[in-house]
Amino acid sequence: MAAPPPGSGEPYVVPALGACGSYRARVRIPVADVAGRTLAELSQVPPLFVDRSLRAQRRAEPVPAEERAALFARAAELFATGEPDGWTVQRYQHHVSRVGGLPIAEVRASTAAVARRLTAVADSAGRARPVGTLEAADTGAALRTPGPGLAEGRAVWARRGELFAVHAAGNHPGTHTYWPEALALGYRVAVRPSSRDPFTPFRLISALRAAGLPDALATLLPTAHEHAETLLRGADLAMVYGGEEVARRYGGDAGVLIQGPGRSKILVTADCDWREHLDVIAGSVADHAGTGCVNATAVFVEGDAAALCEALAERLAALPSLPPEDDKAVLPVQPAASARAVAAHLERTARNARPWLGADTVVDELGDGSAVLRPAVHQVEDPGDPALRTELPFPCVWVAPWTRDAGLAPLRESLVLTALTRDSALAARLLDEPSIANLYIGPYPTHLIAPGLPHDGFLGEFLMRSKSTRISNM
Amino acid sequence: MPSADLGILDLPHGARPDPDEFIRAAMRWHFDPQTGSPFWLELAPGLGFDPLSDVKTLADLSLFPDVAGRMRDVRIRDLIPQGYGSRPPIAGVFESGGTTGGPKRVVVLEDWFERLLAWSDANLDAHGFGCGTDWLGLVPTGPHFVGEFFRRSAARRGGLAFAVDLDPRWVKKLIASGRGADAGGYAEHLIAQAVDVLRTQQIGVLAVTPPLMERLAADEELAVLIDERVGGIRWGGTQMDPDSRAMYRAEVFPNVALCGNYGSTMMLGVAGERPGLGEQDPCVFEPLAPWVTFSVVDPQTRLPVAYGERGRVVVSHVSRSFLLPNSLERDLATRIRPHEDFPGGDWVADIAPVAVFEDERVIEGVY
């Protein structure tokens, strides 16, 4: 299928996985590792292909609800241990690591997380269901033998559409743990992979297919940037990963769920000693290589910000610079040219900030054309400083003093806020604040993940609605 | 009018003049003060070479400066060779799309149009297009050559020409100003008109641009109607990617003969898809050489790339009626070695626009 025999010298081509099968496109782009070596080629399908594939998906019937759990469990097993994409899991992980520059240990942990989440996907998808509704999985059975529920009238948890498109992210394979929930809810799903990590969705969809998911239920449609809109137009609902620009472009579209900037933050009030929680703070900044939207980009401290900066800088400076495939690697790696561009951007942004680990120490070249992005720590005087909103794909944190006068304003627009505080009145106000998506009070890292804790709301809130249904026994 | 010794410029359709001999004759015509155009006669002293003695071969056309940009402001009558007399047989004045800067204008004379049509006719025969059937055109109209080419092609093959107004500049303007939805609305407006013709008339040939072909194919019922009724689709105006082309041939319009045209205003015509290409072959275009010739070059050095390599297309038009050598087009193509029976420049394949790389500036964010 996709993989040529080892040693054949032919490039590994990631095909499109269309509704009618796998397709190696004539037009392909190289997928290069951080040192610029081409490791694979990614098919680029034209709008005609996308359009026809989506149309075929629309005609397909979802897998019966009662068969889904077993199918997902088989797929999870294949993803974690099989060769659904023609690669062993080690080879898959190596390529994700070399191309995305993500530490191999992080990729391995992510493989396990994807498999674990996939096994439990039906359960996690169901957690979004309002208590006042009948479960969609039950609806079919309920319709076959209308019992007291529907005969008296009930809200049924029903899909808002049939076809869900995902413009996937390439920063971290863990982002692919979310969209399978749409499959669990009976959606047909079309994924446009990022050229920075086409391997994970290819492996995942291949695993789902090998586990028995019909081709038309989940597709991989790699397209050129300029054709990405075709996918959104053809689907009922979509999820799009991106920065500020993407958020602006689709902000007004109720059919598009934006996974925008995270701007996750930490607040330490005077009644807590940050020294006891340095692990949590440093971990929030730099764990998972600091590449996620759940990594903290700003720390607000009621007290001595300089002392916190000093301690944080010392802690982060100790992280080693290693190639991503090294077992001990913990920092992200990029092509040296992009790393330098990131550092130059940081330097401009940090003009008015006090560097504890400044832009000049960010780029650490590995000698093969790639460079480690080393942590940056900057201190600003004003909790309203716009630099605090700067989110970059490596451990890069801004520290500012916080006062009661500054209030909630600097803490708004956060995917995650970890508040190290004993002030229950403040905690209540933070809980009420609508622009803070997730709130952890206490020594929890911003990247805390646990069953039942949705990443940014439950996907089901976006994909489903409560439909009033009453069926008479005519 | 044409002087006897330059008859090589007017050989009948099907004849293949020696390219170098042909070029020398054309130089004598275009740089003779009695027959050349005011535009070229005025440029001649400043060229830095003598076209009559220095331009001996097809390859020597590369001596000429690229004057395509002058077609934006030149007085169009100054482009007509004086040898045609005071009442030259004009087929029309045509303009480029005007993607970058103002539109470029060329003037097409009847003898050239006739030659082009005769050649294109043979190309359509070779692709299995029928005669005597009616045509529907979804191609740029107004000042654009392709609209007139469509009408005359239909008429020449005994068909009636049903047309839809299409203004490509408006579409480009909408897209450039971020009004993509309005551009989509305009496309739907065009498709609706085409659907009416397709449903009520017996259309045997469809002339269409690839983006509109995509929209026709997106309507499954319509695609089936086209596949059943239409014998041939001639596409052109913009490039078609090789995967779409393969899908049209195999899945969408398996019963329709497809024939691509690669044209540009600066060529005063089109190059036609080679008939009989296999499923895995690239889409090779052959010009009407030596009147229209291609080279595929490295845009920096302007030297030809190797056969099979990608480069920018350079077009030369050399006919009795018009001279526009050595214009660098926006398009990228693979350089193809022409069949030995058809000498005269390169063939080209897999036309694509010059890639615009995404901005290298850092965009904040983690995705």
Q: How far is A199 from chain B (nearest CA, A)?
A: 16
Nearest to A26 among B242, B358, B364 (CB): B242
Which of the following CATH numbers is that of domain A13-260: 3.40.50.620, 3.40.605.10, 3.40.50.300, 1.10.10.10?
A: 3.40.605.10
> Contacts of residue A255 in chain B, CB cutoff 8 Å?
none
Instruction: Express as a percent the part of chain B with pLDDT over 70.
Output: 95
- Do residue B248 and residue A393 have CB atoms under 8 angstroms apart? no
ipTM here: 0.86
| CATH number of the domain bearing residue B107 | 3.40.50.12780
A348 inside 8 A of chain B by CB: no
What is the residue range of B197's domain? 4-353
Overall number of domains in chain B: 1
Predicted pLDDT at B100: 64
Q: How far is B364 from chain A (nearest CA, A)?
A: 6
Asked if the structure places residue B362 within a domain, the reply is: no
pLDDT band at B365 (very low <50, low <70, confident <90, very high): low
Instruction: Express as a percent the part of chain A with pLDDT over 90.
Output: 81
- Do residue A225 and residue B241 have CB atoms under 8 angstroms apart? no
- Do residue A27 and residue B241 have CB atoms under 8 angstroms apart? yes
> Contacts of residue B180 in chain A, CB cutoff 8 Å?
229
Q: Which CATH class is domain A264-441?
A: alpha beta
CB pairs under 8 A between A and B: 77
B358 inside 8 A of chain A by CB: yes
Q: Is B353 exposed, middle or buried (0-12, 13-18, 19+ CB in 10 A)?
A: exposed
Predicted pLDDT at B1: 47
pLDDT(B72) > 50? yes
Q: Do residues B261 and B271 make contact, with C-beta atoms less than 8 angstroms apart?
A: yes
Q: What is the mean pLDDT of residues B314-319?
A: 97
A335 inside 8 A of chain B by CB: no
Nearest to B364 among A51, A229, A390 (CB): A390
- Do residue B247 and residue A51 have CB atoms under 8 angstroms apart? no
Asked if the structure places residue B366 within a domain, the reply is: no
Residue spans in chain A of domains classed CATH 3.40.605.10? 13-260
pLDDT in tens, A387-421: 999 999 999 999 999 999 999 999 999 999 999 99
Full pLDDT tens readout for chain A, 474 residues: 444 444 456 789 999 999 999 999 999 999 999 999 999 999 999 999 999 999 999 999 988 888 889 999 999 999 999 999 999 999 999 999 999 999 999 999 999 999 999 999 988 898 999 998 887 555 666 666 655 677 788 888 999 999 999 999 998 999 999 999 999 999 999 999 999 999 999 999 999 999 999 999 999 999 998 888 889 989 999 999 988 888 888 888 889 999 988 999 999 999 999 999 999 999 999 999 999 999 999 999 999 999 999 999 999 999 999 999 999 999 999 999 999 999 999 999 999 999 999 999 999 999 999 999 999 999 999 999 999 999 999 999 999 999 999 999 999 999 999 999 999 999 999 999 999 999 999 999 999 988 788 889 999 999 999 999 888 776
Q: How far is B211 from chain A (nearest CA, A)?
A: 10
- Do residue B214 and residue A392 have CB atoms under 8 angstroms apart? no
> Contacts of residue B363 in chain A, CB cutoff 8 Å?
243, 245
Q: Do residues A263 and A203 make contact, with C-beta atoms less than 8 angstroms apart?
A: no
Q: Where are the alpha helices (DSSP H) in A120-198?
A: 121-126, 136-144, 148-152, 180-184
- Spatial separation of the C-alpha atoms in residues A92 and A111, rounded to whole Å: 10
B281 inside 8 A of chain A by CB: no
